[in-house]
Structure 1
Amino acid sequence: MTKARLMRKLFRQGSAYLLVAFLSAAASSVSASGELAQTTAFKQAVAESIGADAGLAEFYRNNAYQPVWTGQTAKSAARRAGLIEALSTAGMHGLPAGKYRLQELLNRMESAKSVRDLGLLEAEMSRVFVAFARDLHSGLLEPSRIDGGVARKRPQVSPADLLQGVSGGDPRAYFKSLAPETRQYRALLKQKMALERQLTQGGWGEAVPVSKMELGDTGPEVVALRNRLVRMGYLKPTASPTYDETLREAVQKFQTAHGLEPDGVAGQGTITELNRTVAYRLQSVIVALERERWLPRERGERHVLVNQTDFSAKIVDQGRITFETRAVIGKNTHDRRSPEFSDQLEHMVVNPSWYVPRSIATKEYLPKLRANPNAVSHLEITDSRGRKINRGAVDFSQFSARSFPFSMRQPPGQKNALGLVKFMFPNKHNVYMHDTPQKHLFSREVRDFSHGCIRLADPFGFAYALLARQEDDPKAYFHRVLGTGRETTVRLKEPVPVHLIYRTAYIGSKGEVEYRRDVYGRDQKIWEELSKAGVVLPLVQG
């Protein structure tokens, strides 16, 4: 059997041990002519090949051009095996396997005939390693280039740190540590594999006709609904042609898992989500894996998590949700969508004033003032010195959005746009969380109504939970401050990390898989970019 055939066979078998043995033998035969790792030819080949990559060049200069991958030692062999094994799992993580050219790398390993060849191979293996390690650790895409609302920067790690990391211990353990070591990431990987298996089995069957179905209905539409829910795992196999109580409960389970009102009625919205294909859901999971790689590795032992697609805000303590409330997010228009970012919640303001953002004052209120100077009378209008102006003495028609010289403020009170408390994590987006007098909006299924800030259905409960770590009776303390009627800042003794995220696929607190609608269309953009970068689905059907 030729070496090439042997290499292909070993790769197909996935035998890392035999592959290492083969590579070690090849390295020994080449190096017998003269001290592989020490030769000038080897060093020159590495230096020439990585010259354009400052990070790699710096590492090898500092490392005296010692081989990381192509040496004869057991450690080098373990690194080679670890790299090949890790590259073979790229697709499992939703990364573009073709980008890392594994087969080309194997071919170059096989064909190395000289010390110079091994030097070039060393450089190529490091290039591939750094590309793969960065993608696995920090994500394949640059978030802000996809959508301006994704105000995140990927965690950065230098080539030197990566190469030192893989050189310093068990390579397999190191490769394993590169991916996010979070419950979400691990569970999403399992869901990805489950959906891929479902694809090979033909998906979830025929789509369900779009027609309203409820308790007591019968007919072919009900049978199609039943069959789809059975294939999806929400209903045990049954031959009943009737929309009975068992089917209604299955519909409710589906609705809950997809952020729909769990009324047990299969209406248009429910059927639309039910008819999403396996491939569509798989795309959501792959995007969620990429998004998880973008987040800070240290989320905070206690942190606030706002999932915009779920319209929810949670406090998480040591991985456990200890408080949760419904939320309203920014309206789906180009200037109101809530951004995604992480920051620190530092204080709350009880009985807040609402200082109207200039964009709202000029775009929404100035046209009203031009028509009627007494419009929006609940707002104070002040000059540059903070003095309240006499509306009747001002001709608002003379001002444009650019020349409008005034500020606008709504004093504290029950009808204040921010309600009775706001939660501040100072940021360039001027986004925060707050109460609202518009309580009726929290009963809506899709809750995108704000100018970008996050409105909370239970802001008082949120305040109590935050204060519980610094006040013996947080509820009583909060209401004492509230009862003064004065605008009061209450600082948190320990700032709490806040993460505004956007997940259309995630794992619930009990390990259940949940899906949500792509409210802003951001996940579709991310999938398109991942696809352009070479990420593919194993099969597209069902």
Structure 2
Amino acid sequence: MPLPRLRKTFIYSIAAAALIGLTPPAGAVSTDLRFPAFAQAVAEAAVGHDEVAAFYRETGYQPIWTGQEPGERARLEALLKAILSAGDHALPVSAYDTTELQAMMRAVSSPRDRGRVEVELTRLFLTYAHQLQSGILTPSQIDAGMVRRPDRRDSTDLLTSFVGAENPDAFLHTLVPTSDEYARLMHKKFELERLISAGGWGPTVPASALRPGDVGMTVVALRNRLVAMGYLDRSATITYDADIQRAVQRFQENAGLSADGVAGPSTIRALNVAPEERLKSIIVAMERERWLSIDRQNRYVWVNLTDFTARIVDGGKITFETRAVVGQNRGDTRTPEFSDTMEHMVINPSWYVPRSISVNEYLPGMIASGGGSAGHLQLIDGRGNVVPRSAVNWEAYSPRNFPYDLKQPPSRGNALGLVKFMFPNKYNIYLHDTPSKSLFNNEVRAYSHGCVRLQKPFEFAYTLLAPQEADPKTYFHSVLDTGRETQVNLVNPVPVHLVYRTAYSDLRGQMSYRADIYGRDAKVWAALEAAGVRLPGYES
């Protein structure tokens, strides 16, 4: 996006002033930048910043910003120009206030002064580069379920690459996340900012529910809200007519609600969400996109926890999609966010009951009934042998000393259904079938102990097997019909991304919004605010 002329003038005036300030008065001090005082000042200023110190040691304490060579001037000008766009990327603008730095530049009168300015510029560059490329926050410090590890680039490598770049402006541009989703989110951010400055979507809808055929001023409020949000052409109707019904359906589709065209309580609540709140969701999604450096050209599995869906994506196109059930919003059952690689599927799986479920959910009933309850589960000893329940003294055990594992053999009633999809990870999370099919009919589908249940697991399996089997459906059922637990390896393992997006776009750029089911986005926004991110008009 080209910068307005006045803004460009402002950029270059800053750069010019800085460069003038870095030129010592004639005869004031030696301009030999190899003077030991410069190196000593750089070393002192870099204390506590090991990567910065390492870079300057490796380069013999040569300046990259504060000399008089054209390359140094070009880097400085490119950096000062780039940080003025920090707000466009929803970065904390306060982190890039150069007022004090410019004062330091103008006050340079010795090699030691120059060394301190040198390191401050390097810190500014690294702050910008890291925040833009891999995010402002560390996910795991925000919420224990956000276990994703952003690919933070080594600072020494960043500096070396920047210094070696022929075009500093072009290098800084390469730091911007390259995904189409990031570009669409950024575009929507600009759009919402313009909308908010113009007054937003107008009054909210003062009703708990509205239906087709209703008449009156509350329908007018609904009509006006839909017009302002772009779902309905301008109209003078006061009746909830077919056009309004279709507009409500389109809105419901983008909000993950049942698209019945009836503005029930959940639809009214979603319609009345302020554009400022949607902008927060967009900004949080941009930060999350910076955390996720993935290959989107090849096949991958995408599970959006807030959308309760699982997709297989090939070359940027969705080739399969199914509804999903995710972890309950309580305790340690919330599904974590991370990426891994799916290596195989297990057809006719056994369910090895997690210890926490065994002792907390099944054991109390088994003790109370003398081993009579949960008869579908086998007792397994430390050697893997099945232990008869009649051989157990149930009164001797408690959750602390219960020595057995619980296992459910393959069956149509197995808790994992008839197939599970494995991407081995320390969180013991995987995708699987389920006998509890009715849950997929609900709008909010957070019921599991953390794993992701699929509504159409067989079709999911066929799609995964298609690259390696001429007739994947026939092959799958030939294994299924044996009734035996069978591992089927994927010839080409598939990346799996468990993500949490309350705002995301489709290929047309249309935004969809979802509820913050685990409250994670609220935590991310609070952390971004603490780091200095602000909505337009709320900078103070």
TM-score by length of 1: 0.94
Deviations for 1:465-511, whole angstroms, at most 9, x for unmatched residues? 11111111111111111111111000011111111000001112332
Tell me, yes or no, if the aligned pair for 2:18 and 2:102 is still in contact at 8 Å.
no
- The separation in 1 between residues aligned to 2:116 and 2:143, in whole angstroms, is 38
What secondary structure does 1:92 align onto? Answer: helix
- 1:78-157 residue pairs with structure 2 within 5 A? 78-157=74-153
Instruction: Give, in angstroms, the shift of residue 383 of structure 1.
Output: 2.2
- The separation in 1 between residues aligned to 2:423 and 2:468, in whole angstroms, is 18
- The separation in 2 between residues aligned to 1:301 and 1:399, in whole angstroms, is 51
Tell me, yes or no, if the aligned pair for 1:11 and 1:19 is still in contact at 8 Å.
no
- 1:203-218 residue pairs with structure 2 within 5 A? 203-218=200-215
What secondary structure does 1:184 align onto? Answer: helix
Alignment correspondent of 1:268: 265
Tell me, yes or no, if the aligned pair for 1:23 and 1:77 is still in contact at 8 Å.
no
Tell me, yes or no, if the aligned pair for 1:31 and 1:115 is still in contact at 8 Å.
no
Give the aligned residue type for 1:97. Answer: V
Q: Which of 529, 534, 537 is matched with 1:536 structurally?
A: 534
What is the percentage of aligned positions where both structures have the same residue? 51
Give the aligned residue type for 1:474. Answer: P
Deviations for 1:397-434, whole angstroms, at most 9, x for unmatched residues? 43211211111111111111111100000001110000
Tell me, yes or no, if the aligned pair for 2:345 and 2:487 is still in contact at 8 Å.
yes
- The separation in 2 between residues aligned to 1:450 and 1:299, in whole angstroms, is 28
Q: Say whether 1:38 aligns with 2:49.
A: no
Alignment correspondent of 2:316: 319
Alignment correspondent of 2:461: 463
Alignment correspondent of 2:302: 305
Give the aligned residue type for 1:529. Answer: A
- Unaligned stretches of 5+ in structure 2? none
Deviations for 1:158-203, whole angstroms, at most 9, x for unmatched residues? 2211111221212222211113111111111111111111111111
Q: Which of 63, 68, 74 is matched with 1:72 structurally?
A: 68
Alignment correspondent of 1:383: 381
Give the aligned residue type for 1:259. Answer: G
Give the aligned residue type for 2:233. Answer: K
Alignment correspondent of 2:193: 196
Tell me, yes or no, if the aligned pair for 1:214 and 1:265 is still in contact at 8 Å.
yes
Q: Which of 277, 280, 285 is matched with 2:277 structurally?
A: 280
Q: Say whether 1:226 aligns with 2:223.
A: yes
- The separation in 1 between residues aligned to 2:31 and 2:24, in whole angstroms, is 11
- Worse overlay, 391-400 or 269-278: 391-400
What secondary structure does 1:37 align onto? Answer: coil
Deviations for 1:299-348, whole angstroms, at most 9, x for unmatched residues? 56211110000001111112221111111000111121101111010000
Tell me, yes or no, if the aligned pair for 1:133 and 1:178 is still in contact at 8 Å.
yes
Q: CA 1:389/1:429 → structure 2, altered by over 3 Å: closer, same or farther?
A: same
- The separation in 2 between residues aligned to 1:202 and 1:300, in whole angstroms, is 40
Q: CA 1:532/1:15 → structure 2, altered by over 3 Å: closer, same or farther?
A: closer
What secondary structure does 1:469 align onto? Answer: coil
Alignment correspondent of 1:452: 450
Alignment correspondent of 1:290: 287
- The separation in 2 between residues aligned to 1:206 and 1:289, in whole angstroms, is 28
Instruction: Give, in angstroms, the shift of residue 533 of structure 1.
Output: 1.2
Alignment correspondent of 2:495: 497
Deviations for 1:360-388, whole angstroms, at most 9, x for unmatched residues? 11110011112222211111222223332
Alignment correspondent of 2:522: 524
Alignment correspondent of 1:432: 430
Deviations for 1:67-120, whole angstroms, at most 9, x for unmatched residues? 111121222111111111221122221111112332322333333333332221
- Worse overlay, 223-232 or 31-40: 31-40
Tell me, yes or no, if the aligned pair for 1:30 and 1:115 is still in contact at 8 Å.
no
Instruction: Give, in angstroms, the shift of residue 139 of structure 1.
Output: 1.1
- The separation in 2 between residues aligned to 1:234 and 1:523, in whole angstroms, is 26
Deviations for 1:44-84, whole angstroms, at most 9, x for unmatched residues? 22222113321111111111111111121222111111111
- The separation in 2 between residues aligned to 1:122 and 1:31, in whole angstroms, is 21
Instruction: Give, in angstroms, the shift of residue 19 of structure 1.
Output: 4.5
Alignment correspondent of 1:340: 337
- The separation in 2 between residues aligned to 1:240 and 1:41, in whole angstroms, is 78
- 1:361-440 residue pairs with structure 2 within 5 A? 361-372=358-369, 373-440=371-438
Tell me, yes or no, if the aligned pair for 2:345 and 2:421 is still in contact at 8 Å.
yes
Tell me, yes or no, if the aligned pair for 1:27 and 1:70 is still in contact at 8 Å.
yes
Instruction: Give, in angstroms, the shift of residue 287 of structure 1.
Output: 0.8
- Worse overlay, 113-122 or 467-476: 113-122
Count of paired positions: 532
Q: Say whether 1:480 aligns with 2:478.
A: yes
Q: CA 1:11/1:400 → structure 2, altered by over 3 Å: closer, same or farther?
A: farther
Tell me, yes or no, if the aligned pair for 2:142 and 2:523 is still in contact at 8 Å.
yes
- The separation in 2 between residues aligned to 1:14 and 1:451, in whole angstroms, is 57
Instruction: Give, in angstroms, the shift of residue 392 of structure 1.
Output: 3.2
What secondary structure does 1:408 align onto? Answer: strand
- The separation in 2 between residues aligned to 1:256 and 1:412, in whole angstroms, is 38
- The separation in 2 between residues aligned to 1:248 and 1:37, in whole angstroms, is 72
Tell me, yes or no, if the aligned pair for 1:56 and 1:159 is still in contact at 8 Å.
yes
- The separation in 2 between residues aligned to 1:31 and 1:394, in whole angstroms, is 94
- Worse overlay, 10-19 or 394-403: 10-19
What secondary structure does 2:306 align onto? Answer: helix
Cα RMSD for the two superposed structures: 1.9
- Unaligned stretches of 5+ in structure 1? 1-9
- The separation in 2 between residues aligned to 1:531 and 1:16, in whole angstroms, is 26
Runs of 4+ in 1 over 6 A off after TM superposition: none
Alignment correspondent of 1:3: none
- Worse overlay, 95-104 or 486-495: 95-104
Q: CA 1:26/1:534 → structure 2, altered by over 3 Å: closer, same or farther?
A: closer
Tell me, yes or no, if the aligned pair for 2:24 and 2:108 is still in contact at 8 Å.
no
Give the aligned residue type for 2:175. Answer: L
- The separation in 1 between residues aligned to 2:485 and 2:352, in whole angstroms, is 13
What secondary structure does 1:517 align onto? Answer: coil
Tell me, yes or no, if the aligned pair for 1:20 and 1:78 is still in contact at 8 Å.
no
- The separation in 2 between residues aligned to 1:11 and 1:76, in whole angstroms, is 25
Tell me, yes or no, if the aligned pair for 1:87 and 1:102 is still in contact at 8 Å.
no
Tell me, yes or no, if the aligned pair for 2:297 and 2:316 is still in contact at 8 Å.
no
Give the aligned residue type for 1:344. Answer: T
